């Protein structure tokens, strides 16, 4: 799917921002310790776990193929001279390791709707459905069950808050695309809702003209729409939507001071939710999703993918730091499925050019989504135009024949592509970019690979070994219900 190619240009602007400024403003960890990497020890300092679990933070890098872990580690070392939290977790003897088996009811290759339903409803459903069985019967999602046990529920994502992965924990609907019908299901079922998708709560943008944001307000939610409002919010219940659609890719946010000032990072949203849940003694379930790793993989966009994987890792760092002194919080980090399986190829004689190619990723200054968006906005987008946009934003030159092939495929003309997965502009651009970055892709869709799984905290041994996705629900209910 050509995710986001039609996104509104207001979501993209340019200039530069310090991605770490959230730490200083949040005051939860000193920026100095974060920059020096000493926070990486947070996981190792975790208080001896009790058996009792009060809260679970379930973190998902959506569409993260297993190979992304090592690419993100290399990219983090390259661009910020320090390790990633997930890499550290794998090296931490108190954390467990495993693989998540993610098939859906009707395919070895799951989509996010079926994958999240397995976690949040305990049964495998067909791709495209959210907690609705193949026979049409609805499954009650975990958020509704845990509410009855007085637990607090949070959904934090960089996609629309009504997107498949958050919805799998808190909604039941036969088609994931009915986001307008998912939004009202969160009312009084989910305490903290943070991400994109303001349109689904806005009377002017809903086809039924229901003032859903107004309904949330009446029910005691603080309704916020930008970063400052979120950081200043005082209420226990929050509905925060910071874009009409998905939140911008981190690579675009990080190069745009205005965007970074108005849209919170995944780590900031996570801190806002977890900070509230850690106060008091209520049980809680917080789902945190780095959603756009999946979208970047569909777009074969390694710069956007690694930018969002690093933003996800910052959220993992924030969670491990905040829970380090709490012995009763379980943190699970995983993914719902692979996607396009990016990997670094051996480049040049004796592979001596691989590192140099990989370093070219750091020259990317925008997402492919933005490249295509700008091309789309030009009245006469020809081969020269796409060539100059690629040079400006991605830092490499397309050959004339490559630019012409890209234009032909953008104009939906038949071109010779050797793999049907590539008969899309994003697939073709991903291949051309790979000549400069060394990154190869299996295609532009989800893959069947089991995903990585790490857990730390009480009862984390439940998440070691090979875990069937639909067994997660039972563990969460036993721990929190």
Which residues bind to Zn ion, rule: CB under 5 A? 63, 294
**By C-beta, is 1 or 32 nearer to Zn ion?**
1
For the bound state, the minimum distance from the C-beta of residue 336 to Zn ion, rounded and expressed in Å, comes to: 9
Residues across the chain: 481
**By C-beta, is 112 or 321 nearer to Zn ion?**
112
For the bound state, the minimum distance from the C-beta of residue 267 to Zn ion, rounded and expressed in Å, comes to: 22
Q: What is the DSSP track for 209-252?
A: ---HHHHHHHTTPEEE-SHHHHHH---SSEEEE-SSSSPPPHHH
Instruction: Name the residue with the smallest CB distance to Zn ion.
Output: 294
Task: Measure Cα distances from 376 to 275, 285, 298, 410, 433 in Å.
Answer: 42, 41, 19, 9, 19
For the bound state, the minimum distance from the C-beta of residue 111 to Zn ion, rounded and expressed in Å, comes to: 7
Q: Measure the CA–CA gap between 268 and 40, rounded to whole angstroms.
A: 18
Using CB atoms within 10 Å of the CB of residue 396, give its burial: 0 to 12 exposed, 13 to 18 middle, 19+ buried. Answer: middle
Helix, strand, coil % over all residues of the chain, rounded to 5:
45, 15, 40
State both tokens at 401.
């024949």
**By C-beta, is 335 or 360 nearer to Zn ion?**
335
**By C-beta, is 109 or 386 nearer to Zn ion?**
109
Question: Of 252, 249, 357, 241, whose CA–CA distance to 297 is shortest?
Answer: 249
What are the residues facing 196 on neighbouring strands?
Answer: 160
For the bound state, the minimum distance from the C-beta of residue 86 to Zn ion, rounded and expressed in Å, comes to: 20
**By C-beta, is 296 or 476 nearer to Zn ion?**
296
For the bound state, the minimum distance from the C-beta of residue 1 to Zn ion, rounded and expressed in Å, comes to: 7
What are the residues facing 241 on neighbouring strands?
Answer: 195
For the bound state, the minimum distance from the C-beta of residue 61 to Zn ion, rounded and expressed in Å, comes to: 12
Distance of CA 14 to the CA centre of its chain: 22
**By C-beta, is 63 or 283 nearer to Zn ion?**
63
Q: Measure the CA–CA gap between 474 and 4, rounded to whole angstroms.
A: 35
**By C-beta, is 63 or 195 nearer to Zn ion?**
63
Distance of CA 215 to the CA centre of its chain: 28
For the bound state, the minimum distance from the C-beta of residue 5 to Zn ion, rounded and expressed in Å, comes to: 14
What are the residues facing 404 on neighbouring strands?
Answer: none
State both tokens at 257.
């001071």
């Amino acid at each position: 799917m050509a995710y986001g190619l039609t996104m509104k240009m207001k979501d993209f602007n340019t200039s530069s921002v310090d991605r770490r400024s959230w730490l200083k403003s949040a005051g939860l960890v000193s920026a100095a310790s974060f920059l020096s990497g000493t926070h990486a020890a947070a996981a190792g300092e975790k208080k001896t776990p009790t058996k009792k679990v009060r809260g679970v933070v379930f973190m998902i890098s959506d569409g993260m193929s297993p190979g992304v872990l090592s690419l993100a580690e290399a990219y983090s070392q390259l661009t910020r001279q320090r390790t990633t939290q997930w890499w550290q977790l794998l090296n931490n003897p108190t954390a467990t390791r495993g693989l998540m088996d993610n098939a859906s009811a009707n395919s070895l290759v799951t989509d996010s709707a079926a994958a999240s339903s397995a976690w949040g409803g305990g049964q495998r459903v067909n791709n495209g459905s959210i907690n609705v069985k193949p026979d049409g019967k609805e499954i009650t999602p975990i958020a509704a069950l845990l509410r009855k046990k007085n637990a607090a529920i949070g959904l934090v994502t960089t996609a629309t808050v009504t997107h498949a992965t958050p919805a799998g924990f808190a909604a039941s609907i036969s088609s994931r695309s009915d986001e307008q019908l998912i939004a009202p299901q969160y009312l009084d079922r989910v305490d903290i809702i943070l991400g994109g998708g303001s349109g689904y709560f806005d009377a002017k943008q809903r086809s039924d003209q229901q003032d859903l944001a107004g309904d949330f307000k009446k029910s005691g939610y603080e309704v916020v729409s930008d970063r400052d409002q979120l950081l200043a919010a005082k209420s226990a219940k929050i509905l925060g939507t910071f874009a009409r659609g998905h939140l911008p890719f981190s690579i675009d946010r990080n190069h745009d001071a205005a965007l970074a000032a108005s849209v919170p990072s995944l780590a900031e949203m996570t801190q806002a939710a977890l900070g509230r849940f850690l106060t008091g003694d209520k049980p809680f379930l917080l789902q945190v999703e780095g959603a756009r790793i999946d979208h970047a993989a569909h777009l074969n966009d390694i710069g956007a993918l690694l930018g969002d994987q690093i933003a996800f890792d910052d959220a993992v760092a924030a969670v491990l730091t905040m829970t380090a002194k709490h012995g009763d919080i379980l943190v699970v980090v995983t993914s719902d499925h692979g996607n396009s399986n990016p990997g670094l190829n051996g480049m040049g004689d004796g592979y001596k050019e691989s590192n140099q190619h990989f370093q070219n990723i750091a020259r990317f200054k925008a997402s492919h989504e933005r490249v295509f968006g700008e091309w789309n906005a030009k009245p006469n987008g020809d081969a020269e135009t796409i060539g100059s946009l690629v040079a400006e934003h991605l830092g490499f030159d397309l050959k004339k024949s490559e630019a012409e092939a890209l234009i032909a495929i953008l104009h939906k003309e038949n071109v010779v592509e050797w793999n049907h997965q590539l008969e899309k502009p994003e697939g073709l651009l991903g291949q051309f970019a790979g000549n400069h970055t060394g990154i190869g892709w299996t295609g532009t869709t989800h893959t069947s690979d089991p995903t990585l799984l790490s857990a730390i905290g009480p009862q984390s041994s439940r998440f070691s070994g090979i875990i069937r996705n639909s067994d997660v629900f039972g563990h969460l209910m036993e721990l929190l219900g």
